[in-house]
Amino acid sequence: MRIVFAGTPEFARLALDAILAAGHQVPLVLTQPDRPSGRGLKLMPSAVKQGALAAGIPVCQPRSLRLDGKYPEDAAAARQALLDAQPELMVVAAYGLILPEWVLNLPARGCFNIHASLLPRWRGAAPIQRAIEAGDAQTGVTIMQMDQGLDTGDMLLTRVVPITPEHTAASLHDDLAQVGARAIVEAIEAAGANALHAEPQPSEGATYAAKLEKSESPLDFTLPAVQLARRIRAFDPVPGSTMRLPGLADPVKVWRAAALPGKPAEQPGDVLSVGAEGVDIATGDGVLRLLELQKAGGKRQPVSAFVQGWQPGGQTPSGV
């Protein structure tokens, strides 16, 4: 099949690689403009651009696809490139730009989206993180026929992925990226055989996965320990979970923690014990045992190494 691909991060690159490996023609790739990265803020191409260039595929990087928007010249150039590519189908994965109606209608088979949740649960920008944060037992990938709504199109194919207690946003992302790459190839092959059956999303069970904000990083110890432990996994690696520990001038990041049962008599946020096995903090319900920490300017450390250079004194830690 002749396919135009639109995507930006590594999640999308795996899908592009799978489509190419399956033998489909990709005459054009759309991806976000190069962004400053690293200490030198050097412009860096997206993972998808790197993959496209390695495969010899022309790349288009419009700042917008709205013909009547802020960058009409970018949109017009992208439109001409799409018309020249003559795609039968467009595949979209974590692209980062809203597709206006003219894009959705341009390919003969429309646009398929690879969405990292079991729709209609967790529509929106951060489905992987919100699923972990909410304590969902499972998530997955939905291949969806795109429409003008926010992840509201008909479902074409779904694949379920269990969420384990060890999953962080990073590790679950990697698992879902692999599943999504396989699923989109299956969907394309089924579409070519006219064997895809579109199913409207149910109106019940729809939830919205709001974009992650840096303001969510501070740990609120009035919350239950179970909820805090999930949030730490959900925000690894971005935006991270932060707190202040007594005796340290700067906040620390908490990368791994475990919830212990029991309701401590101390106030939420009090340090209960410090040892090589963990730093125990009182919460609104249960105890949060800190297992992996990072000082400002330092590296991630297991708690056994972290506590060697820190003594809590008599102060109380708090979120920051």
Q: Tell me, what CATH number does 146's domain have?
A: 3.40.50.170
The tens-digit pLDDT sequence of the chain (320 residues) is: 999 999 999 999 999 999 999 999 999 999 999 999 877 888 999 999 999 999 999 999 999 999 999 999 999 999 999 999 999 999 999 999 999 999 999 999 999 999 999 999 999 999 999 999 999 999 999 999 999 999 999 999 999 999 999 999 999 999 999 999 999 999 999 999 999 999 999 989 999 999 999 999 999 999 999 999 999 999 999 999 999 999 888 999 999 999 998 777 789 999 999 999 999 999 999 999 999 999 999 999 999 999 987 866 644 455 54
265 shares its domain with 155: no
Distance CA 255, CA 317 (A): 16
Are the C-beta atoms of residues 260 and 272 closer than 8 Å to each other? no
Longest CA span, the chain:
69
Domain for residue 316, yes or no?
A: no
Supply the pLDDT for residue 317: 53
231 shares its domain with 247: yes
For the purposes of burial, counting CB atoms within 10 Å of the CB of 309, is it exposed (0-12), middle (13-18) or buried (19 or more)?
exposed
Q: Fill in the amino acid letter for 29.
A: V
Residue 252's closest CA among 307, 213, 211? 307
Domain for residue 317, yes or no?
A: no
If you ran DSSP here, which 8-state letter would residue 200 be given? P
127 shares its domain with 274: no
53 shares its domain with 202: yes
- Count helices and strands (H / E) in the chain: 8, 17
Tokens of 101: 């109606």
Distance CA 267, CA 237 (A): 29
* C-alpha angle 65-70-75 in degrees, rounded to nearest 5: 25
Supply the pLDDT for residue 319: 53
For the purposes of burial, counting CB atoms within 10 Å of the CB of 300, is it exposed (0-12), middle (13-18) or buried (19 or more)?
middle
Supply the pLDDT for residue 314: 47
174 shares its domain with 220: no
**Residue corresponding to tokens 């341009």:** 106
125 shares its domain with 151: yes
Distance CA 306, CA 318 (A): 18
Tokens of 282: 């009182």
CA end-to-end span of the chain: 52
Supply the pLDDT for residue 279: 95
Domain for residue 57, yes or no?
A: yes
39 shares its domain with 93: yes
Q: Given 209, 232, 267, which residue is the final one in a domain?
A: 209
Q: Fill in the amino acid letter for 22.
A: A
Domain tally for the chain?
2
Does the global pTM surpass 0.85?
yes
Domain for residue 160, yes or no?
A: yes
Q: Which domain holds residue 223?
A: 214-309
82 shares its domain with 24: yes
9 shares its domain with 81: yes
Q: Given 209, 236, 259, which residue is the final one in a domain?
A: 209
CB within 8 Å of 165: residues ≥ 6 apart: none
Q: Tell me, what CATH number does 293's domain have?
A: 3.10.25.10
Supply the pLDDT for residue 116: 98
Supply the pLDDT for residue 37: 83
Supply the pLDDT for residue 251: 95
267 shares its domain with 303: yes
